[in-house]
């Protein structure tokens, strides 16, 4: 069983943390992963930095820019992750834009992910129809789940279509904003979560965008199986460093 499916089957209130590979330093990647694991994170999303991250706000854009200036590349990321499964058992997901994956070669990229032990990919700018027609078999051959995103603007018909063709979980973008642009759910977001609840989707939901504290984590977890924290974690890394990661995780989960 894929590690994502296993975690979703066994846990609720899942905390998935996103960080940008190569930030704050080129060689920070595996150290951050190991600290997140020991701190009690349930899943990890490793951001593949890109020069034009359209869906991301200022914080993640900044981390991508610094990571690229540090010399991070797809090849270096794979080199850094080689052997990571000797120490890490929780799901690892690579999140990135399609251009670097396409430049690397989709089949070769997926093959490397499988060899290293990556469980899934989140590619915001890869439409589901293109995935199904061109890349689904490659993903399946390499035991990778492709995680699709939905937003408040996604129609019920499209959500049903994504639900029927999803593995792992559906990434529920909590608002129409870019990442890191809000730190509190408004009534529109809550109505959107309630709308999804009524649809009774067969695929588990994990909510991202706007999760920055225990209050938001607790609210979102009522409407989903867990949450994704990205911008808030990167800000915390910038201000507090890698050695303080457990404090951040405990604060999000409200562990005293």
The mean pLDDT of the chain is 92
Predicted confidence (pLDDT) per residue in 78-90, tens digit: 999 999 999 999 9
d(CA 86, CA 83): 6
Predicted confidence (pLDDT) per residue in 197-243, tens digit: 999 999 999 999 889 999 999 999 999 999 999 999 999 999 999 99
88: CB partners within 8 A, 6+ apart = 33, 34, 37
Q: Is residue 254 part of a domain?
A: no
Higher per-residue confidence, 246 vs 178: 246
Q: Residue 56 catalytic?
A: yes
Question: What pTM does this model have?
Answer: 0.94
The mean pLDDT value for 110-138 works out to 97
Q: Is residue 90 part of a domain?
A: yes
Per-residue pLDDT for 138 more than 50?
yes
Q: Is residue 20 part of a domain?
A: yes
pLDDT of residue 1: 77
- Show the domain range for 114: 3-249
Query: pLDDT-derived band of residue 177, with 50, 70 and 90 as boundaries?
Result: low
Q: Residue 157 catalytic?
A: no
Predicted confidence (pLDDT) per residue in 141-154, tens digit: 999 999 999 999 99
pLDDT of residue 50: 86
pLDDT of residue 54: 64
Which of 42, 45, 119, 163 is the catalytic position?
45
pLDDT of residue 175: 78
Per-residue pLDDT for 53 more than 80?
no
Domain count, the chain: 1
Q: Is residue 190 part of a domain?
A: yes
CATH code for the domain in which residue 194 is found: 3.20.20.70
Which of 56, 58, 115, 163 is the catalytic position?
56
Q: Is residue 255 part of a domain?
A: no
pLDDT of residue 77: 97
Q: Is residue 100 part of a domain?
A: yes
pLDDT of residue 205: 97
Predicted confidence (pLDDT) per residue in 244-256, tens digit: 999 999 999 987 5
Q: Is residue 201 part of a domain?
A: yes
pLDDT of residue 179: 47
How many Cα atoms occupy the beta-carbon half-sphere of 108 within 13 Å?
Answer: 9
Candidate from 50-59, 89-98, 117-126, 165-174 with smallest mean pLDDT: 50-59
């Amino acid at each position: 069983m894929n590690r994502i499916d296993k975690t979703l089957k066994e846990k609720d209130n899942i905390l998935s943390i996103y960080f940008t590979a190569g930030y704050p330093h080129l060689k920070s990647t595996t150290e951050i992963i190991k600290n997140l694991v020991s701190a009690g994170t349930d899943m990890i999303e490793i951001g593949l930095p890109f020069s034009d991250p359209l869906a991301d706000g200022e914080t993640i854009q900044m981390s991508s820019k610094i990571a690229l200036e540090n010399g991070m590349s797809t090849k270096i990321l794979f080199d850094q992750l080689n052997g990571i499964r000797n120490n890490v058992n929780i799901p690892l997901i690579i999140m990135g834009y399609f251009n670097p994956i396409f430049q690397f070669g989709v089949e070769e990229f997926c093959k490397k992910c499988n060899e290293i032990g990556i469980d899934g990919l989140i590619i915001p700018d890869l439409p589901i129809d293109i995935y199904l027609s061109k890349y689904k078999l490659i993903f399946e051959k390499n035991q990778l789940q492709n995680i699709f995103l939905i937003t408040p603007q996604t129609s019920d018909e499209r959500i049903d279509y994504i639900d029927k063709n999803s593995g792992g979980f559906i990434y529920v973008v909590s608002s129409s904003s870019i990442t890191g642009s809000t730190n509190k759910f408004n009534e529109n977001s809550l109505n959107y979560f309630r709308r999804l609840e009524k649809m009774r989707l067969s695929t588990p939901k994990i909510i991202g965008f706007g999760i920055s504290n225990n209050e938001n984590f607790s609210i979102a977890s009522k409407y989903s199986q867990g949450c994704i924290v990205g911008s808030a974690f990167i800000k915390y890394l910038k201000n507090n460093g890698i050695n303080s990661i457990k404090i951040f995780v405990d604060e999000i989960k409200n562990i005293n």
